[in-house]
Amino acid sequence: MSAQPSLADRQSAFMRAILDEDAPLPEGWGNSQAAGMAVYRGNYRSALMDALADTFERTKLYVGDGPFAQAAAHHAIANPPSGWTIDDTGHGFDETCAQLFANNPEVAELAWLEWTMLGLATAPDHTPLDAAGFAAATQGLDDQGWSALRFEFQPRVATRTVEHNLTSLWNAIGDGDIAQAELGPRKQRGCIVWREGVRPTFMLVDPAEAQALASMQAGASYGEMLVELAQSQKGNDRLQQALKRAGEMLGQWLGEGMITRVIS
């Protein structure tokens, strides 16, 4: 006599049938349950697509309802959420867009930006370090002390290299006039996304600045960042250029409230 499937086995079979139309139905199911599963599967996918549409409002406006619906359906089927909330279905949607909108690579960058800003909206609260606090924390440091300096940044600050003018695209979509967007020629830019108070925001910068921030987020010291930054400069005075540029970047990061702590 065969053992009866456990509750976990039944739940696993149920989920497989929802995610894959060709998967066998749970043991003991008949035609009436099969018909109900088709309805349930449709409602499930519809809920995922609605969640994607809410999350990626600007991306949907940019590509249009039809193409977005096709991309959302493809993503929902190929990448079912594994977290506790349906909102997780947006994870990796930029990669889906990169595949499906290969001729318009700005779509994937826009989707990444929307997803990243959504993550920042729910990031833990933080207290930014102001200029006075920074001055007090670095007072009396010699060259060696500055070289060993490390920073702690606000939670979920993100950087990425992009090739399109996302500022123009974002603003044009927000204004309801996509024709205003001036993407310009493709060139590498750095994109930094952070939270300004409670509002997620972003800016386009030189790629070297985005890389410098990413390096320090990953634990690089100020001195290590300077060496890396110097390698991106030109001429015989690359270290001096890097020192000047690092000071400007540091002032910007402090001014924008990205730094929360100095580790000396």
Main-chain dihedrals φ then ψ at residue 216, nearest 5 degrees:
-70, -30
Helices (H) and strands (E) in the chain, counts: 12, 5
Spatial distance between the Cα atoms of 261 and 264, rounded to a whole number of angstroms: 10
| pLDDT tens digits, 67-99 | 999 999 889 878 876 666 677 889 999 999 999
Tokens of 51: 């969640």
Return per-residue pLDDT of the chain as tens, 264 residues: 455 666 565 555 555 655 556 556 566 565 555 555 665 566 677 788 899 999 999 999 999 999 999 999 889 878 876 666 677 889 999 999 999 999 999 999 999 999 999 999 989 999 999 999 999 999 999 999 999 999 999 999 999 999 999 999 999 999 999 988 888 889 999 999 999 988 999 999 999 999 999 999 999 999 999 999 998 888 778 889 999 999 999 999 999 999 999 998
From residue 93, alpha-carbon distances to 108, 156, 167, 174, 228 in Å are 8, 18, 20, 20, 32
Query: How much is the pLDDT for 228?
Result: 93
Query: How much is the pLDDT for 202?
Result: 98
Spatial distance between the Cα atoms of 155 and 122, rounded to a whole number of angstroms: 10
Q: What are the boundaries of each domain within the chain?
A: 1-122, 123-264
Spatial distance between the Cα atoms of 261 and 137, rounded to a whole number of angstroms: 9
Whether the Cβ atoms of residue 128 and residue 239 lie closer than 8 Å to each other: no
Which DSSP string corresponds to 53-122? HHHTHHHHHHH-HHHHHHHHHHHHHHS---SSSGGGGGTTHHHHHHHHTTT-THHHHHHHHHHHHHHHHT
